[in-house]
Amino acid sequence: MSETTAFLGLGAMGTPMAAHLARRAREAGGRALVWNRTGAKATAHAREHGSEAVTLSRAARADVIFSCLPTSREVDEVVGALEADLRPGTVWVDCTSGHPEAARRQAARLAGRGVAFLDAPVSGGTAGAQAGTLTVMVGGEAGVLERVRPVLAFAGKVVHVGGTGAGFAVKAVNNALLAVNLWAAGEGLAALARAGVDVAPALEVINASSGRSNASENLVGQRVLTREFPLTFGLGLLAKDVGIAADVVRGAGASAPVLMQTEALFRAAATVVGAGEDHTAALRLLEQMNGQEIR
Ligand code: NDP
């Protein structure tokens, strides 16, 4: 297939994801267009990765349009801005960690233009985006996914999880589990520190034992104990994801007290610590609650 793709939103995730689309276009034919609100980032992307920086109305005429924006609200805004230029037969693949209700709204709105919509959020972080090994969880029609599957050059694993909105729901719950594990690891280590136990060997033991998690193995030691908290995934974005998970819980009439409590904790952490900090800085709130640094 030698389609023209367009990627909207060159943030921490979009920049490396769009670079894989540009690589694919070089190798398999086709064109890789990019658009970003701050245009200089698109120009730099074209220079560094061989994509083509274009206007929003040009991007609208691509065969496959990708978006990766902070929330569904920004996706709504961008859909509104380029809607008139869309062509029937286009597929819109939204890689934002969005809201299931917004997916259903966007799918219906785009269907009116003959454009198919897939909610296709990703997992794997900026490292996975750079390596082209992201996990993509897709909601929407399976047949539409099969049409675009060859173009998903940033993916290591692609799973169709259900109808429109299912991808966003799975992503929200996945990230709520990340938040639970991160917070729980922080609670355990803060308690040990207050009890006079050295945190570094305690974490070494946990990471070789049954209490370990991705958060304990790949985040706490590297980002919290070092006090570096390097920004790759914003705390405000994780708080948003846990909020979506809570909406999914409520919408389903499910009982999930730990997830609901985690929503409140991460909302508080984003307010107290700062939404623009790295997500691991949520543990700074926990440190304040304990009068104890985790180090
Ligand atoms: P960033 O904050 O790094 O980038 C946000 C992007 O959205 C930028 O390109 C920004 O443009 C653009 N943008 C913001 N507001 C608007 C607007 N009103 N109109 C148009 N464009 C806008 O976010 P990430 O790349 O980290 O995250 C993007 C999505 O991916 C989020 O939903 C996040 O939850 C999810 N995600 C993030 C991961 C991570 O590790 N970072 C991992 C997996 C999923 P500009 O350059 O002009 O500011």
Write out pLDDT tens, residues 233-263. 999 999 999 999 999 999 999 999 999 999 9
% the chain with pLDDT above 90: 99
Superfamily of 169-290 according to CATH: N-(1-d-carboxylethyl)-l-norvaline Dehydrogenase; domain 2 (1.10.1040.10)
Ligand 1 pocket: which of 15, 35, 69, 219 to mutate (most atoms <8 Å of CB)?
69
Nearest to 95 by CA among 24, 167, 157, 177: 167
Amino acid at 252: A
CATH topology of domain 4-162: Rossmann fold (3.40.50)
**Facing residues of 32 across strands?**
5
Verify whether ligand 1 is closer than 6 Å to residue 36 (CB atom).
yes
Which pLDDT band, with edges at 50, 70 and 90, does 2 fall under? Answer: confident
pLDDT in tens, 67-112: 999 999 999 999 999 999 999 999 999 999 999 999 999 999 999 9
**What would the two tokens of residue 187 be?**
């609670």
- Type of residue numbered 224: V
Pocket test for ligand 1, best of 41, 51, 68, 174 (most atoms within 8 A of CB): 68
| Structural element, H or E, at residue 22 | helix 14-28
Task: State whether the beta carbon of 274 lies less than 6 angstroms from ligand 1.
Answer: no
Span 168-176, average pLDDT:
98
pTM, to two decimals:
0.97
SS3 67: strand
**CATH 1.10.1040.10 domain span(s) along the chain:** 169-290
Residue 266 has pLDDT above 70, yes or no: yes
CB 17 within 8 A of CB 154: yes
Between CA 175 and CA 255, with CA 179 as vertex, the angle to 5 degrees is 80
The response to whether residue 14 sits with its C-beta less than 6 Å from ligand 1 reads: yes
Has residue 1 got a pLDDT over 90? no
